A and B are shown apart, each in its own frame.
Chain A
Amino acid sequence: MDSPLTDALVGTRRFFTRGSVSEDRRTLSLEGGRSGDSFYRDRWSHDKVVRSTHGVNCTGSCSWKVYVKDGIITWEAQQTDYPSTGADRPEYEPRGCPRGAAFSWYTYSPTRVRYPYVRGVLLDLYREARAKFGDPVVAWASIVQDEEKAKAYKSSRGKGGLVRATWDEAVEMIAAAHVYTIKRWGPDRIAGFSPIPAMSQVSFVSGARFNELIGAPMLSFYDWYADLPNASPQMWGDQTDVPESGDWWDAAYLIMWGSNVPLTRTPDAHWMTEARYRGQKVVAVAPDYAENVKFADEWVAPVPGTDAALAMGMGHVVLKEFFAERETPFFADYTKRYTDLPHLITLEPVGDEGESGGVLRPGKFLVAGDLPDHPEANSENAMWKPAVLDAVTGEVAIPQGSIGHRYGPEGEGKWNLDLGDIDPLLTLLPADGSAGETAEVELPRFDLGDTVVRERRGVPVRRVGGHLVTTVLDLMLAQYGVGRPGLPGQWPEGYDDPSVPATPAWAESITSVPAAQIARLGREFAQNAVDTEGRGMILMGAGTNHWYHSDQIYRAMLVLTTITGCQGRNGGGWAHYVGQEKVRPLMGFQHMAFALDWVRPPRHMNQTAYWYVNSSQYRYDTFTTDDVGAGTGAFEGRATMDVLAQSVRLGWTPSYPQFNRSSLALADEAAEAGVDVKDHVVSQLKSGDLKFAVEDPEAEENWPRVLTLWRSNLFGSSAKGNEYFLKHLLGTTNAARAKEAGPEHRPRDVAWPDQIPEGKLDLLMTIDFRMTSSTLLSDVVLPAATWYEKHDINTTDMHPFIHSFNPAISPPWQSKTDWDAWKAIAKRFSELAEDHLGTRTDVVAKPLWHDTPEAMATVHGVVKDWKTGEVEPIPGKTMPVLAVVERDYTQIHAKMTSIGPLLEKVGMVTKGVPYEPTAFVEQLGAVNGRVHGGPTDGRPKLETDIHVAEAILHLSGTTNGHLATQGFKALEKRTGTELHDLSAEHEGKLIRFADTQAAPVPVITSPEWSGSESGGRRYSPFTINIERLKPFHTLTGRQQFYVDHDWLLRMGEALPIYRPPLDMTRLFGEPRIGEQGELGVSVRYLTPHNKWSIHSEYQDNLFMLSLSRGGQSIWMSDIDAAKIGVKDNDWIEAVNRNGVVAARAIVSHRMPEGTVYMHHAQDRLIDVPLTETDGKRGGIHNSLTRIVMKPSHLIGGYAQLSYFFNYIGPTGTNRDEVTTIRKRTAEVTY
């Protein structure tokens, strides 16, 4: 050791200590007698460990151990008891992330909502009115009808002044507001919002069930979050279905494209890092050096928003090398059978001269009904049976499996993908090397500036029954600029020719990714698919999906996975990972949540349109729909509001508030007049005496009046155009700076009063366990139990298990579970309804639904409007379905807490498959017990949260093998193929709540989903379609690259195409990206997910804040920062017309120049100062965004383009936005 003297000194220690000093005097060892260690043993000791999880908006669905000591929750750690995935692959343990690991902080945190709170101004007014009038409903009316009083409490929203109330008082106010609103305005002036149910299904059910029972719409979330990939309904007729993360292991080639796996799929990321060791090639596509880039073999860094161009460049190479230059048998066989590539498309002349004018554009699918001489011309649904050319006979053939075979008696047993003797021609180009007959078609491109440019390229054609036709593949090759000998038109010279889409050089000019890399990636992906029979996968996420033109971005990417035969394979296909959470026990959940056991149909509303209208954002649209159409002329100078109003009146998309009169009043009028309610509504609409509310949204009778939030922080998170919400919906302080649209930009079919109202909403109520922007703004806040204080169930699509929440402690202070809170509201509501509502008749207008024959309303997707007299208004055909229902408002609580009789009487339907659940309703009567006495006498109980969980589990195929088998057998009748063997191994299995308490339980293969898990295989979507020839829910029954609806054709989007991000300079007058002015530098403003929160949750958690920057921050590149003199951690402000954000800069060279990231939903509660710009509290990330709707997402009534809740609809896009970043110079004040 260091010196002899030290040796001696240290050596003496041997004589004074119990331990042993090593011979070399180096170290001290100790055995026994360690009383000094007891501290840590005490710290570790605990009384019990309880299984639970987190019900936030997160796909993790991780099972956790919650430790409890002396009745106090101490901490949590991951469970490791997931059932095994098999001997030769990794396991799911230990799922979790730092956010989840920090959750218990909330239990006792100072931000915990412990008691009911009411806005003080309002509570004073209410107490006064209650004392005066006695009746709570009259008291509520006296406040909201008094302009001054209403303004007093509305204008103080969000600005402190919440005071404690009792549960009784708070619940009474909520109930009174509901009763009053139904009575005065109608039930659809109330709305409920609770996001993504999968991760706490019972909690979602609680308020949803109440709202649907009273006739209030539930607002959607998937489209609203911009997470819904409209490309999925467009291509597959499927909301979204994706592989579990365990299936990444099966992929031999994995592209992470706009999906930052370690950050947003933390518990799943290991599958990717581990699959690399199996020789999987990994590519990361990200504009910044994102966390996942670290794991990639290659980093591809395109300019943000240009992903479609990148995908098309890769697609060009695949189409050229694997389709045009040679036939690849694996791809040809797959695309013939499972895609629309061989389907015939008519070419239609442009202009008045007809075909002689020489200009043709791609038109409609040729269908049996278009061919008078064809044997199937007069078959059932002949206009819904698309055609192909048979290579053997040279004749037109009608393959089975289209939507025309899906409905009606003739199609029974024929709705399948069996081609029989048909060998469809993929291309009409003769095999002998000649070009045969050709025609030039006009194809659009949007990459050359503000408007569309059309180029002509040739396709081989045939004449069939008077129609000039080609195939989808031939059109796609033309669209992608893949030339073949003998075809006329503009074609690129080679890969290095950037002048024509979609060569690699063209893609490079847009994306900045090297052409050689693009070509190689395309080639590699395709060759890998050939070598592995389709084991190539693309994980795609928010980075590519949150754009205005995300459907086109996705379609271009899905071309890659689909023409290469990767869809419907384990280890292959798309893996859309943003907001896609899967309610595995879908059927039971839907029937309980939407009270389908008591009343049908439900009111479901697409939330994007709801807020576009009701936060008056449309009033600030300084562009027309034609601007967005880039000069395609699709919408002739109409505004988005016009297009929305048309979509609503044609029954394509839902809209609530529904009419400009109460739906209850309409029924009363009809009864009084002695006419049928539906006839009354139709005639009133036709005469113009009745309007859709969306046609005059600023009129007071059309405002939303009551909004309830639970499991949700709308105003701190998803509210795009946040400042417009504050202004018009809530009537409080805001930072909106935009100017209203001038006359040239206004809608022509929608009323435009001079004044926009402020404070439309009478009641904002939130149930939460912590303070958020939404609770701050709420009039009433109810204290919720946390995720560790209740029973519930949880699923995701990232893994195949269902598992449970369990209370580690009882809800502390005065908090209640969501279920108990809503029960309390329902109880008081039902009491107040005795005097004010009683039983009423309600007329529900509902859009034409997907997976029903209503989807065959629009032949050939040709738009005809009853308003202009093109057709008659016929409910369920040319306008919304009208349904008349009875609502006994005095029995809402009784119905909410018992299972209704419709399940036995009418059965259940999910995705078009019928089920007969009587035996299981019976069984639930035994399991949950039955109601004794009253109007629901004898019905199975739904008293407790466990009762609800049991009902969901009993009534879903994924958790009840009997029902799965029953559903498959029902489906077999339609498909004529064997399916029920898929669930045979589990037919006798019924997962009970207690099973989910013991350990996560694997679910059962069911027709509710498209993939098979039989034999314990990993879930991958569409494997049943591919392996069992079950059609996709599309027009052709195949995966569709081509969509021929009028609107899409006119917009130039029949096929996948690159469309640049919206030009915010042209549309809204924002500075151009890169422009530097006095105020700062203009940049692309992106809001990706945050490492330190799950949406708005956890961003206020002290652990997360201590591991990050401690408050709102914006990542920017060192180059941009230098331009405006900003250093790391300097205060900056981000400003645009929509609002102002105050944050600190995180300056880093991993960020590309010209782009900033403000991580999503940091909320405004933590260390946000008053801004330099306007002296108000700085905004949230969505203070800088606003809603911009894409018209094509409003299409309905046409095959796969038909409405269902969260299935299709306008998305609240938020990636096209720009902002100016400036350095703060003024002192920081709060």
Chain B
Amino acid sequence: MRPMAQMAMVMNLDKCIGCHTCSVTCKQAWTNRAGMEYVWFNNVETRPGLGYPRGYQDQEKWKGGWVRTPSGRLTLRAGGRLSKLLNIFSNPKMPAMSDYYEPWTYDYETLLNAPAQKHFPVARPHSLISGKPINVEWSANWDDDLGGSQQHAAKDPMLKGIEDKVKLEFEQTFMFYLPRICEHCLNPSCAASCPSGAIYKRVEDGIVLVDQDKCRGWRMCVTGCPYKKVYFNHKTGKAEKCTFCYPRVEVGIPTVCAETCVGRLRYIGLMLYDADKVLEAASVEDDHDLYEAQRSVFLDPHDPEVQREAERAGIPGDWIEAAKRSPVNALINTYKVALPLHPEYRTMPMVWYIPPLSPVVDVLQETGNDAEDADNLFGAIDTLRIPVEYLANLFTAGDTAPVDGVLRKLAAMRSYMRDINLGRDPNPDIPARVGMGEEEMYDMFRLLAIAKYDERY
């Protein structure tokens, strides 16, 4: 056992309102500068949709992350590291500016400076790259709220294989939001892709950073990251990425995106894991096993042996305490409602998600039954507006069982709490049916619903 500590995040998509406040506060703090105009360390995608950069999840195309060779070894999808070194001067497979978007501004000063003229003055868009007038055709969030759905959402790589279940028609509409930052993976393929050794994981908290002094701008990391969360600063010629706001985290305040999340859906916490088991877990054969495999890497901070080993590994006592109180650990391991994003990339991502539940009883609208009744809720999950298969493609490499389990827990919690809300006796059968005790369910409710500032971070 080789315990290491990792800062991690859980986002509860069931609460995300898609407001993009996180994107703006992050942008203002970190990437509002020359060379980084097109860069959003934090972005929010409407799903189904293409995301940012467009279609980044299509690894057939972008070649990000790891693949498992028939012999059971892990290799970078973009080619082994030897071939990377040998081809270091060739163009890596990476998104063009147009796949992100061509950043622009306007000739705003026209509004003030326009001489007397025939028409009302207007500010026109100009490219921040070329300086020339442009026709705006894509932005950092073009397909927000299903805008242009037939042209864009229809090409969502995550719809592959479930085309028959998803019709982009008015009556069948569904959408939800997916906020994304760097995953600060336990097995980062960006770092493995870097010929200069400029990308590293911080020993004490696992935050993945690019050493700005060492980066030589090879951009292999851009290709290597399957989440496309490493960006190329075209002014400095170096790679930049989400830093998990380490200058803030180091002094005990949460990341900008988490603290400014008005949906109150982000949790930050410390996870302990066994560094010796990461490779093995990332190499399991079946993609469907990756979720549990990653969970098996985590160490239980309440376990005295883990505590001893952690201490021996130099992890301070208050960090172990933090790991015990970690809301992220509770959501991932205690309640098991958080799931990793794309475990099949085998990077062991450390930003996890609670899948969205709703709208839930919509399909029961003509049955005339109490919509909050537990039986109805469970029945409804199979016919959710958001197909479980779609969520499984995001969070469990296509395995619907874990997603279904999470959704049942959320539904059961609502049903259980309704009795309490209405002053009736709570029904212990409801948590029992999803393998939970009453107190555990109540505690989960408090963490998901009430979640005060110091309980979220």
Chain A residues engaging chain B, CB cutoff 8 angstroms: 1-3, 5-6, 9-10, 13, 16-17, 19-20, 22-24, 26-31, 34-37, 39-41, 43-45, 74-78, 80, 88-91, 93-98, 101-102, 104, 109-111, 113, 117, 120-121, 156, 158-162, 252, 261-263, 266-267, 269-270, 273-281, 284, 289, 291, 293-299, 514, 516-517, 520, 524, 531-532, 733, 771, 773, 776, 1091, 1100, 1102-1103, 1105-1111, 1115, 1117-1119, 1127-1129, 1146-1153, 1164-1170, 1176-1177, 1230
Contact = CB atoms under 8 A, between A and B. Distances in A.
A1146 B147 contact: yes
B453 A299 contact: no
Contacts of B229: none
Which residue among B140, B142, B200, B213 has the maximum number of chain A CB atoms within 10 Å of its CB?
Answer: B200
Given A44-B248, A75-B28, A278-B449, 13 more contacts: A43-B29, A44-B245, A93-B453, A97-B19, A97-B262, A110-B112, A266-B21, A273-B17, A279-B415, A289-B175, A296-B359, A516-B368, A520-B368
Contacts of A1153: 170
Contact of A274 (B30, B264, B416): B264
Contact of B20 (A161, A1107, A1169): A1107
List 7 A-B pairs, minimum CB-CB distance, nearest first. A279-B418, A161-B116, A160-B114, A2-B75, A1128-B148, A36-B211, A262-B17
B81 A10 contact: yes
Given A279-B417, A1103-B27, A1166 B170 contact: no
B197 interface: yes
Contact of B176 (A294, A298, A1127): A294
A395 to B, nearest CB: 40
Contact of B262 (A39, A96, A1170): A96
A29 B453 contact: no
Given A24-B278, A279-B414, A159 B200 contact: no
Nearest to B451: A90
A36 B121 contact: no
A29 B82 contact: no
Contacts of A159: 114, 116-121
A160 B115 contact: yes
A47 to B, nearest CB: 15
B300 to A, nearest CB: 22
Contact of A37 (B114, B212, B370): B212
B286 interface: no
Given A5-B82, A276-B414, A280-B421, A158 B120 contact: yes
Interface stretch (B56-64, B103-111, B305-313, B388-396): B103-111
Given A531-B422, A1146-B148, A161 B114 contact: yes
Nearest to B82: A6
B418 to A, nearest CB: 3
A30 B21 CA distance: 32
Given A517-B365, A1118-B149, A77 B260 contact: yes
Nearest to A4: B73
B21 A1165 contact: no
A273 B203 contact: no
A37 B246 contact: yes
Contact of B416 (A117, A279, A1129, A1165): A279
Contact of A733 (B74, B120, B147, B168): B120
Contacts of A733: 119-120
B181 to A, nearest CB: 14
B170 A1150 contact: yes
Given A44-B29, A270-B263, A1150 B175 contact: yes
A36 B214 contact: yes
B81 A9 contact: yes
Interface of B: 14-15, 17-21, 23-25, 27-30, 32, 69, 73-76, 80-82, 85, 101, 103-109, 111-112, 114-125, 136-137, 139-142, 144-152, 168-170, 173-176, 187-188, 191-192, 197-204, 209-215, 243, 245-248, 256, 259-265, 275-276, 278-279, 356, 358-362, 365-366, 368, 370-372, 410, 413-423, 445, 448-453
A771 B108 contact: yes
B105 A1102 contact: yes
Given A97-B21, A101-B21, A517-B366, A1128 B147 contact: yes
A1128 B152 contact: yes
Contacts of A295: 17, 358-359
Nearest to B69: A2
A520 B361 CA distance: 13
A671 B82 CA distance: 103
Contacts of A294: 174-176, 356, 358-359
B319 to A, nearest CB: 14
A520 B370 CA distance: 9
Given A279-B422, A1108-B144, A1 B149 contact: no
13 contacts: A9-B81, A24-B278, A104-B28, A161-B115, A161-B117, A262-B19, A273-B15, A275-B449, A279-B420, A279-B421, A1108-B141, A1128-B150, A1165-B121
Which residue among B120, B410, B420 has the maximum number of chain A CB atoms within 10 Å of its CB?
Answer: B120
Contacts of A1169: 122
A1165 B30 CA distance: 29
Nearest to A1168: B122
Contacts of B264: 90, 94, 270, 274
A9 B120 contact: no
Nearest to A81: B453
A1086 B148 CA distance: 19
Contacts of B17: 261-262, 266, 269-270, 273, 291, 295
Contacts of B175: 289, 294, 1150
A276 B361 CA distance: 13
A111 B198 CA distance: 41
B262 A75 contact: no
A98 B361 contact: no
A1148 B145 contact: yes
Contact of B80 (A2, A22, A94, A1106): A2
Contacts of A1: 73-75, 81, 279
Contact of A94 (B261, B361, B449): B261
Nearest to B424: A531
A275 B445 CA distance: 10
A771 B259 CA distance: 32
A17 B203 CA distance: 14
